[in-house]
Structure 1
Amino acid sequence: MRAVVCKSLGPPDDLAVEERPDLEPKANEVCIKVHACGVNFPDTLIVEGRYQLRAEPPFIPGSEVAGEVIAVGEKIRHVRPGDRVTALVQVGGFADQACAPGEAVMPIPREMDYSQASAFPLVYGTVIHALRQRAALAEGETLLVLGAGGGVGLAAVQIGKLMGARVIAAASTQEKLSLASHYGADETINYSHGSFKDEVKKRTNGQGADVIFDPVGGDLAQDCFSAINWRGRYLVIGFAAGGIPEVALNRLLLKGASAVGVFWGAFVAREPKVNFENFEQLFAWFSEGKLRPHISKTYPLEEAAQALADMRARRVNGKIALLP
């Protein structure tokens, strides 16, 4: 099989496509012929050695795959060879073949193509878990989404609307805000201009947002703590800005608010049944035409380094994918 290999930790420039032996699944694994691989911000961090889950070189990056089952381990019952599936792997996705744990493999709706399926597990799984289990987002509440032009941000805009929230999308460019509006955002804020917290308060009658979905982190987090409503929930999704913010506990105290961590990978391992229930809802919304990933660009395996560089530089709108 062909695979993108990371031989040393650092910028993605040295990634190379190599021939590797074909895979055989272990007892609780599913082997997949990969038709598309989702590219995500954590992939850049893993290649650089800056992610909380560390991979030791040489390894194959990539955590989201979609394709056709070619072999299953002896303990696998829910899929069989020939099934169309999507799956999550910690590493190993940027290749012709990938093996995934059985609990992380899900059949996809017949209406879903492989590029869409490769854009689905990580972002949509993270978002529905964040808004359902961690924030308990209620109909009529105001949801503020940072990084709203990226893959996880756009997913939060879409799912927030489907859950009945009023959604305020925040991003750094008008292009990204226009995309968020296209996918259902009620209002938008460009946080490259003016006071972000003042803009949020202006759009919430001075009250602040009930739920804040933040995959950006950095300096914007402090503004979020000032722009949260009474009993609001600030969701810690990630740190695309690079800096890990310090929590202003006094602001949370004054608002009776909560800072809530969202680690979808650990949730999948600890509560697989609830995760499958989440995806039943997601796939139902997709089949009903209510939910669509935005794939802005695809790349061949040979351009994996460029795809990661684009992700790292925040040049990506929606999702991107590698097509082996």
Structure 2
Amino acid sequence: MKAVLCKTYGLPETLVVEDVASPIATKGKVIISVKACGVNFPDTLIIQGKYQIKPPMPFSPGGEVSGTVKEVGEGVSHLKVGDNVFSLTGFGGFAEEVEADAQKTLLMPEGMDFITASSVMYTYGTSYHALKNRAELKVGETLLVLGAAGGVGLAAVELGKIMGAKVIAAASTDEKLELCKQYGASEVINYSTEDLRERIKEITGGKGVDVIYDPVGSKYTEPAFRSIAWKGRYLVIGFAAGDIPSLPLNLPLLKGASIVGVFWGAFAANEPKQSMQNFKELLGFIAEGNLKPHIHAQYTLEQASEALNEILNRKVMGKVVVSLQ
């Protein structure tokens, strides 16, 4: 089978496409013939050795896939050969076949296509866990989403709207903000041309925002936090801008505010029943037509480096997918 391989840590240009042996299903695992693989920011980190997970070399990036079950390992009873599934693999998805944990593999609902199925787990899983479990977002609260046109950001905009919040989307271009409006943002801020704090103050009448969803970090963190409401919750999702920011700790003290870490992968591992419940609810939203991933572009295996560079260069709105169909 063909696979995109990381043989040494580096930028996407260091990846190669080679023929490798097909995997064999071990106990509790399934082999999936991959039809599509979502591309996410952690994929850009894992190939540079900057992510929490460090697979043994050589490995394929690609943490979420959709496809058809080719082989079932010992002890797996809820899946069978021929089932259409989507799965959280962590890595290994940029390949024609991948071994996946059966407990992290779900049947695709009837009517769902492979591209959509490969675009659900990371973005919606992260954002729903953040807003539901960590922020406990309530109807009528105000949610500020930084990096709002990216994969997890746009998912947060959609989910915030569904959960009954007033959503303020902040992004770097008017084109990105127009997409955010289509996905449920009632107010937008272009933080490349507008003062973030002043616009938040203007939009909220000086009250501030109840929940801040921050996958960006860097220079936007402190001005956003200074705009948080009393008893607000600041969700630390990631650092797509590259720099991990520091905050004066008198700020949460003065606002009675919370800084809340969001590590969805650890949540899924430590609280699998709650994680699966979240996915059932998300699939319900999708079936009702309330959630639909925005697919920015599709790439072949041979173009996987291009897809990763699109994310690194912050050009992606919504999701990019490596398609093997």
Q: What TM-score results when the alignment is normalised by the length of structure 2?
A: 0.98
Equivalent residues of 1:225, 1:248 under 8 A apart: no
**How big is the shift at 1:55?**
2.9
The answer to whether residue 272 in structure 2 is matched with residue 272 in structure 1 is yes
**How big is the shift at 1:71?**
1.4
1:241 is matched with which residue? 241
1:90 is matched with which residue? 90
Letter in 2 for 1:151: G
Q: Deviations over 1:179-204 (max 9, x none)?
A: 00011111100011232111111111
1:41 is matched with which residue? 41
Q: Distance in 1 between matches of 2:111 and 2:151?
A: 20
Q: Distance in 2 between matches of 1:109 and 1:248?
A: 47
Q: Distance in 2 between matches of 1:33 and 1:247?
A: 46
**How big is the shift at 1:57?**
2.5
1:109 is matched with which residue? 109
Q: Distance in 2 between matches of 1:295 and 1:275?
A: 24
Equivalent residues of 1:42, 1:51 under 8 A apart: yes
Q: Distance in 2 between matches of 1:49 and 1:272?
A: 26
Q: Deviations over 1:140-194 (max 9, x none)?
A: 0001001111111110011111111110000000111000001111110001123
Identify which range, 284-293 or 194-203, moves more after superposition: 194-203
Letter in 1 for 2:118: S
1:172 is matched with which residue? 172
Q: Distance in 2 between matches of 1:94 and 1:296?
A: 18
Q: Deviations over 1:65-89 (max 9, x none)?
A: 0111111221222222111111111
Q: Distance in 2 between matches of 1:98 and 1:17?
A: 15
Q: Deviations over 1:212-231 (max 9, x none)?
A: 00000011000121010100
Show the 5 A alignment for 1:60-209: 60-209=60-209
2:232 alignment partner, SS class: strand
Letter in 1 for 2:168: I
Letter in 1 for 2:257: A
Q: RMSD over aligned Cα, in angstroms? A: 0.9
**Which stretches in structure 1 are left out of the alignment for 5+ residues?**
none
Q: Distance in 2 between matches of 1:313 and 1:122?
A: 19
1:58 alignment partner, SS class: coil
Letter in 2 for 1:108: M
Q: Distance in 1 between matches of 2:83 and 2:16?
A: 30
Q: Distance in 2 between matches of 1:209 and 1:42?
A: 28
Q: Deviations over 1:105-160 (max 9, x none)?
A: 11121121111111111111011100111000000000100111111111001111
Q: Distance in 1 between matches of 2:25 and 2:245?
A: 41
Equivalent residues of 1:170, 1:191 under 8 A apart: yes
**Which stretches in structure 2 are left out of the alignment for 5+ residues?**
none
**How big is the shift at 1:52?**
2.2
Q: Deviations over 1:43-73 (max 9, x none)?
A: 0111111112223431111111011111122
Q: What TM-score results when the alignment is normalised by the length of structure 1?
A: 0.98
Equivalent residues of 1:60, 1:92 under 8 A apart: yes
1:203 alignment partner, SS class: helix
Q: Distance in 1 between matches of 2:154 and 2:298?
A: 18
1:6 is matched with which residue? 6
Equivalent residues of 1:49, 1:55 under 8 A apart: no
Stretches (4+) displaced over 4 A: none
Q: Distance in 1 between matches of 2:261 and 2:112?
A: 30
Report the count of equivalent residues: 324
Q: Distance in 2 between matches of 1:217 and 1:240?
A: 7
**How big is the shift at 1:232?**
0.4
**How big is the shift at 1:34?**
0.4
Letter in 2 for 1:228: I
**How big is the shift at 1:24?**
1.1
